[in-house]
Amino acid sequence: MFRPLTRAWRGLLPSKALLSMRGTSRGARGNTNPINKVAVVTGSTNGIGFAIARRLAQDGAHVVVSSRKQENVDQAVATLQGEGLSVTGTMCHVGKAEDRERLVATAVKLHGGVDILISNAAVNPFFGNLIDVTEEVWDKILDINVKATALLTKAVVPEMAKRGGGSIVIVSSVAAYSPFPSLGAYNVSKTALLGLTKNLAIELAQWNVRVNCLAPGLMKTSFSRMLWENQEREESIKAAMLIKRIGKPEDCAGIVSFLCSEDANYITGETVVVAGGVLSHL
C-alpha cells in the first residue's frame, strides 16, 4: 500500500527535493512514515522479526532489536547499522520480566521513549497430538506466545501514553484461523492473540494506542523449517495456496510498517492475513 503512493509522490517532487529527502532521517525508501518513531521489536535477530525491524528502520524509525542471545543481537545490529539504518539492540527473552523491563528502558534511554511495539517472538516446543501436550509445554507456549505479549504491552503503554499515543502489532499466524496439523497448542496460542488484539484495542484506545495483528502464512524461516524442508510436504502446502510459493519474511514487513504509520491511523483491533491466499476467514 505504501509503494504506489510513494511513487506517486515522487513523481510530484522535483529531483533536488527527492535527493535531500534521501539524505535525512526519513529512511532509504523516502516514505513519510514512521519517521523518527521509536520501535521495539521482539525476536528480531532473525526471520520475520528481523525483516520487520529492517523495514521499519528503512521507513525512518529508530529501531531497538532484541532476542535471547547477545551474539545474535550483536550480529543483527551490525548488519542493519552497516546498511546505514538507525538500529540498536539489547538482549530480551520475552518470558523474563527483567528482560522486558530492560528492553523498554533501553529504548527510553537511547531514544527518549517508545512509539511502536512489535510483539513477534514465539515458541513451538511440541509437534504431535493436542491431548499429549504436557502441562510444562502448555505453560511454556502460553507464557511466551500470549502472556509475554500482554505483559510487554503493559510495560510500553505508559511510555506511549507520555508521547500521546502509539502503535502495537502482535504477530499471530494463519494457524489462528486454520489450524496446522500436529501443532495444536501453538495454534491455540495464536488464536488467543486474536482475542488479545481485540481486547487491548478496546482498552488502549483511551491513550491513542492502536493495536493490530499480523497473521502470516508459511514463511521460509528456521522456525518453520519442519514444514518446508520436506519437498512432498512443501508441495502439498503450496497446493492449498492461491499464490503458489512459500512466503518470505519480507512479505510481512511492509504491511507491519503500514500498520504503524499515520496512513493506518483509523485502523485498530484488526488482523491482516499475509498467507498467499490460504483459506482463513470470510
Residue ranges binding ligand NAP (CB under 6 A): 42-49, 67-69, 72, 92-95, 120-123, 144, 171, 173, 216, 218-219, 221-224, 249
Q: Alpha carbon 272 to chain centroid distance?
A: 12
The residue from 177, 186, 247, 276 that is catalytic is 186
**Block residue for cell numbers 502509539:** 166
**Residue number with the smallest Cβ distance to ligand NAP:** 47
Nearer to ligand NAP, 30 or 184 (CB): 184
Nearer to ligand NAP, 33 or 221 (CB): 221
CB 49 within 8 A of CB 42: yes
Q: Find where cell 503450496 sits.
A: 238
**Minimum distance from residue 151 beta carbon to ligand NAP (Å):** 12
Question: Nearest approach, Cβ of 118 to ligand NAP (angstroms)?
Answer: 10
Indicate the residue type of 103: L
Q: Which is nearer to ligand NAP, 7 or 245 (CB)?
A: 245
Q: 25 burial class (0-12, 13-18, 19+ CB within 10 angstroms)?
A: exposed
Cβ closest to ligand NAP, residue 44 vs residue 261: 44
Asked about 186 being catalytic, the answer comes back as yes
Closer CB to ligand NAP, residue 30 or residue 254? 254
**In whole angstroms, how close is the CB of 232 to ligand NAP at the nearest point?**
18
Q: Are 48 and 221 in contact (CB under 8 A)?
A: yes
The phi and psi torsions of 20 (rounded to 5 degrees) equal -70, -30
Name which of 88 and 120 has its Cβ closer to ligand NAP: 120
The least distance separating ligand NAP from the CB of residue 145, rounded to whole angstroms, comes to 7
- Shortest CB 96 distance to ligand NAP, Å: 8
To the nearest whole angstrom, how small is the minimum distance from the Cβ of residue 70 to ligand NAP? 8
Residues with catalytic annotation?
186
